[in-house]
Amino acid sequence: MDTVIIKIYGPSKFQFRNKTLFLPELSSRRYEDLSATEIQSRNSSRSYLRKFLLHPKPSDEYIPRVEVFETLSKESNRIIYILKITFSAPKLLYWNSVQEVNENDKQKILLAIKRSLKSVGIIVEIEVLENATLEAVHACKNIPLPKTIRMREILAELGQMDIGKVVDVTETQIKNGGRLLNFWSGTKEHCFYDKVSDSLKPKNKRSDKGRIDYEKVFINQYKLQDREIFRYEYRLKKTQTTRSAVNVLLGRKPNTQVTFKDLFISDLLKNLILSSWHKLIERPENQLSLFGKIDRLKLLLHIFSEAKKQGKKAHSMNNAFISYGIATAILDNGAKELRGVVYEGWNKDHPERLTKKIKIASELTSGLPYSNNIAFVNTAIERFELISLTSLQNEV
């Protein structure tokens, strides 16, 4: 895990000893102090009355981003104050996110949050922190790459994938050669990049925009400048999306409240990464885009062989040739590009027909292995070995 966002509903669960560190300066009100316009806003889409942002003094400590929201209860005549805390779990402990944290670090993380908040005059008890509502989490995995496998090639292959019309795909190239590949929607995001090159970029061009001085020092200290570390982040960005994803994996009812301490349930973070990764690469169109280089005639013969296993049904040869055409088009141009060309050159009506043909093509190419690059990443994700200081020292 890396970025975590939690919310604590007060005001009785937290205290502020230095309200001047907030902009605007933090102040509390009673319901009787509200204007008629503010009271009427209860029935609008406005989510809060006032917002206060922590601006801590320069410090050598890692300080989470802290916001306080003044909201009006929709059920009763009272004001609710919400403490929103955003932090990077590994940076909280190690000042870098190359090293990873897991469920065994629960107590260390809770103590570190409490200590860092106390340093800016915010008092929150451990029990309150662990029972805070989980709004968002970035589950992640770092994978050091051998010199025979290049980040550029992995991203090029993953960029051939498609995961539906509601998801945008962007690949950003930075001047110093770094790359970032995103599959994103409003509520979740699949993000792939080189952790080392990202850490060495200027802050405004980083995928991870937290404090970076210590991370650069760490990379230099352990001679990682010339290494590539593949990073996969599965970012759940909204409370409902996070709740749904976590509860499915824990076998709970969909609307069960998810708290910060749930992240430390054994294998939850691992399963968030594994399930999201497999959903990506196991989509029929993505299976077609990710298998390794193969002679075109051998590909056709493989499809014929798989088609024969299904028996000589009507149109089975037609299906085999159609599947061959779809498979080669996706291999050469990517799944999203194929859909675009078909919809533009033929028509957009009944897209489910193309989806069905892609599924048949995927079935007839089953058994073909992933490319070496994707196979390496897939194996490393399934192993899910923790990247620690010891493992990095052993690899140097």
Q: If you ran DSSP here, which 8-state letter would residue 32 be given? A: G
Paired strand residues for 66: 85
Any idea how long the chain is?
Answer: 396
Q: Amino acid letter at 40?
A: Q
Nearest to 7 by CA among 74, 65, 84: 84
**Matching residue, tokens 């200590």:** 115
Contact assessment for residue 92 and residue 106, using Cβ atoms and an 8 Å cutoff: no
Question: Is 328 within 8 Å of 298 (Cβ atoms)?
Answer: no
Exposure of 133 in the CB half-sphere (CA atoms within 13 A): 16
pLDDT per position in the chain (396 positions), as tens?
999 999 999 889 999 999 999 999 999 999 999 999 898 888 777 789 999 999 999 887 899 999 999 999 878 889 999 999 999 999 999 999 999 999 999 999 999 999 999 999 999 999 999 999 999 999 999 999 999 999 999 999 998 888 765 556 665 554 345 578 988 878 899 999 998 887 776 655 555 544 556 778 888 888 888 889 999 999 999 999 999 999 999 999 999 999 999 999 999 999 999 999 999 999 999 999 998 888 999 999 999 999 988 776 657 888 899 999 999 999 998 888 888 898 888 877 888 889 999 999 999 999 999 999 999 999 999 999 998 877 777 765
> What is the pTM assigned to this prediction?
0.89
Distance between CA atoms of residues 89 and 105, nearest Å:
9
Residue 334, pLDDT score: 87
Q: Can you give the pLDDT at residue 321?
A: 93
d(CA 113, CA 131): 13
Cα separation, 43 vs 116, whole angstroms: 37
Q: Where are the beta strands (DSSP E) in the chain?
A: 3-9, 15-16, 22-23, 50-54, 65-72, 79-88, 122-123, 133-144, 168-173, 179-184, 188-194, 229-236
Strands of the 229-236 sheet, one edge to the other: 22-23, 50-54, 65-72, 79-88, 3-9, 133-144, 229-236, 188-194, 179-184, 168-173
CA angle 47, 51, 55 (to 5 degrees): 150
What is the C-alpha separation between 306 and 284, in angstroms, rounded? Answer: 16
DSSP 233-295: EEEE-SHHHHHHHHHHHHT--TT---BGGGGGSTTHHHHHHHHHHHHHHTSHHHHHHHBPP--
178, 193 in Cβ contact below 8 A?
yes
Neighbours of 170 (CB within 10 A): 10
pLDDT, residue 372, reads 95
Under a CB-based contact definition with an 8 Å cutoff, are residues 288 and 331 in contact? yes
Q: Which residues pair with 182 in a beta bridge?
A: 170, 191
Distance CA 146, CA 127 (A): 43
Give me 11's structure tokens. 């005001």
293: exposed, middle or buried (C-beta count within 10 Å: 0-12, 13-18, 19+)? exposed
> How do the domains of the chain map onto residue ranges?
3-281, 293-368
**Alpha carbon of residue 126 to chain centroid:** 26
